Amino acid sequence: DMAKMPWSQIREAFEGHWVEITEYAWKPESIHPQAAKVLHHSASRKELLEQIAKSGRLDGWVVLFVGPALPGIYTSSAAAHASNF
């Protein structure tokens, strides 16, 4: 049983995977939760949904795709632009 993790840890551990989360802290203005507990994960969305179906839970879950850290891309591109001046 996994503990609740901050989003930075979830992103590091499950990048490129679909994750099922619960017990999440999520501000309405944010694109991802601040923290959550990962119940299942898979590189395949179909496989993840099958895992959820087998668990017997019908509600209380959220499925997200954990993609690359976009703010990192913006930061490095801003730094590259700054070094050209």
Question: Alpha carbon 46 to chain centroid distance?
Answer: 17
Judged by phi (left if over 0) then psi (alpha if -120 to 50, else beta), residue 75 lies in alpha
Strand ranges in 16-81 using DSSP code E only, listed in sequence order = 18-25, 35-42, 62-65
Per-residue pLDDT of the chain (85 residues; tens, 9 = 90+): 679 999 999 999 999 999 999 899 989 888 889 999 999 999 999 999 899 889 887 676 788 888 875 544 433 334 444 444 3
In this prediction, residue 63 carries a pLDDT of 87
First to last CA, the chain: 51
